Amino acid sequence: MFRKLLIANRGEIACRIIRTCQRLGIKTVAVYSEADAKALFVRQADEAHLIGPAPAAQSYLRGDVIIEVARRTGAEAIHPGYGFLSENAEFAEACAAAGIVFVGPTPEAIRAMALKGAAKALMEGAGVPVTPGYHGEAQDEATLLTAAQQIGFPVLIKAVAGGGGKGMRRVDNESEFPELLKSCQGEGQSAFGDPRVLIEKYIEVPRHIEIQLFADSHGNAIHLYERDCSLQRRHQKVIEEAPAPGLPEAMRQAMGEAAVKAAKAIGYRGAGTIEFIVDVSKGIAQAAFYFMEMNTRLQVEHPVTEAITGLDLVEWQLRVAAGEALPLTQAEVPLNGHAIEARLYAEDPEHDFMPSTGTLSRLVFPSGVRADSAVAQGDAVSVFYDPMISKLIVHGKDRGAALDALRTALIYTRAEGLKTNLAFLRRIASDPDFRAGEIDTGFIGRHVERLTAPWPDLGPDLGPDYDIPSNTASSPWHDATGFRLNLPPASPVDLRHLTDALDEAHEASEVIAPMPGLVVAVHVTEGETVEKNQPLIVLEAMKIQLTLKAPRAGVVTGLSATTGEQVSEKAMLLNVT
């Protein structure tokens, strides 16, 4: 086993890796940007080294600088976490050239799955079912539009190098195809350095079910069952659970076998995830599943797999990278109970999930619940990185017990000082349709009004070591949905209408930044005539890219935004007069 490990990542995954290393007696080296100088993972590591300014391109994506730190500190291996350099084949090769172990798959396996179109072609050849679509090399608009017409609307445009919910656009008809294609290509170029796209049939009622797999360098490959990640907003996951609710055992076995087949087809090594789209338009019992993509790394939602198997997947990653064989065969992998993970984000669900920044004046979790956090009370959430604050993971003997534990844990959690999605998560955990397992990727969109209604937070004041009561079923806090004091329950429709009314009070000609962020594109010039809803400026912050459109037809005046500029929330960018 390694004596010293460098963690080429930040936030909660860096903290997560540090915990396993501490248990195994492995010294840890953190690398950090100027924005993360006081971050929780920096404080927890055995040693930490500054590698550059806040922008990821100048710090966490500087593989050469990170490898130099590893050399200087005597780190024998580098764990890339997820995101950043975790699926970068060139970085894996550079590690090998420097005599440092890359905790992940081979560069060849990363490349085989890096581009979605090529990966789908490979999976087709291996006999794994794939979603109908166009995965060709030609990228001109006419070819792509023809492909979309042949597939049949609605279709999904996806950046070939995309991931994390970025670089995806649903297109419902031919008229909106050109604009959404351009938008997707631009996001692909900005986020991944590759504007190429593929076209897929949009499955109207899909569930997102993925298989956790593991392989070693001795020819062994197994799966650790499935996770359901269907509850999403902006194609990014919010709630994950394992095993998938209602999944027939025959389908579980078929999906697991397909995932292992995919891993063996590319000579895979380490942790990986095969993501499937499952068409549940006729119910889960008659559903067909299709390969979507492979993530050649650990996933954010790996803790629910750990909860139902009792395994430490980071430890498995380290042992496989050190040359050890998998410790279990397929038949020996446990499957106990049900686990659910909820992602606590710094964002405002009542305003289209806009990211939020600021200092967490209070952050408290009840004991008895696993909370994988990126920050601690008193820490700041900056504009530069992912807005996730923490992941809450609960486990129960079955799904009902896990849901009860999740709802109670969320009610007793406190996150104050900035906008968060805590009330939104409480609503989901209490929602009767979610509890009944009636879920698909459109669930949040269909129920957004009731899920974003304010939560009457009247719970007791808690300390950091407060235990969740064992008799939660009889606790008045077990279901606070209807709590109120002397007033009727607030209507989500009325509250949202009031917020629309507030927006209309602003001068209709102004285009204002709805969030702090980086200006990645300015599509207009001073004095240009524009139409209503014409794209004007693209902002990017905290993994979200937002296109600001003209509020009316008119002429652009007072243009102050420039590409590459960091702007503050509510900054006036231009006028349309």
- Per-residue model confidence as pLDDT tens digits over 59-114: 999 999 999 999 999 999 999 999 999 999 999 999 999 999 999 999 999 998 87
Please check the confidence at residue 167 and state whether its pLDDT lies above 90.
Answer: no
| Average predicted confidence (pLDDT) for the chain | 88
Please check the confidence at residue 545 and state whether its pLDDT lies above 80.
Answer: no
Q: Is 228 helix (H, G, I), strand (E, B) or coil?
A: strand
* CATH architecture classification, 207-336: 2-Layer Sandwich (3.30)
Domain ranges in the chain?
4-103, 132-201, 207-336, 341-504, 506-576
Q: Which residue has the tokens 């995309």?
A: 162
Q: Find how far residue 32's CA is from the centre of its chain.
A: 21
Structure pTM? 0.80
* pLDDT for the residue numbered 123: 83
* pLDDT for the residue numbered 463: 47
Q: Which residue has the tokens 């085989």?
A: 112
Residue 485 DSSP class: S
Annotated active-site residue 427? The verdict is: no
Q: Is 328 helix (H, G, I), strand (E, B) or coil?
A: coil
Q: Which residues pair with 541 in a beta bridge?
A: 544
Same fold, 207-336 and 341-504: yes
Mean pLDDT of 478-500: 38
Amino acid at site 69: V
Q: Find how far residue 412's CA is from the centre of its chain.
A: 24
* CATH architecture classification, 4-103: 3-Layer(aba) Sandwich (3.40)
Q: Specify which of 343-352, 400-409, 457-466, 479-488 reaches the highest per-range mean pLDDT.
A: 400-409
Please check the confidence at residue 187 and state whether its pLDDT lies above 90.
Answer: no
* pLDDT for the residue numbered 515: 78
Q: State the first-to-last Cα distance of the chain, in angstroms, to the nearest integer.
A: 66
Q: Which of 10, 169, 196, 297 is catalytic?
A: 297
Helices (H), 412-530: 422-430, 432-435, 443-446, 448-451, 492-504
Mean pLDDT of 231-252: 93
C-alpha–C-alpha distance, residues 577 and 554, integer Å: 5
Of the candidate ranges 360-364, 417-421, 484-488, the one whose mean pLDDT is the lowest: 484-488
* CATH architecture classification, 341-504: 2-Layer Sandwich (3.30)
Strands 4-7 and 27-33: parallel
Choices 3.30.390.30, 3.30.1490.20, 3.30.230.10, 3.40.640.10: CATH for 132-201: 3.30.1490.20
Choices 3.20.20.70, 2.40.50.100, 1.10.10.10, 3.40.50.2300: CATH for 506-576: 2.40.50.100
Mean pLDDT of 156-171: 84
Percent share of the chain, pLDDT over 90:
68
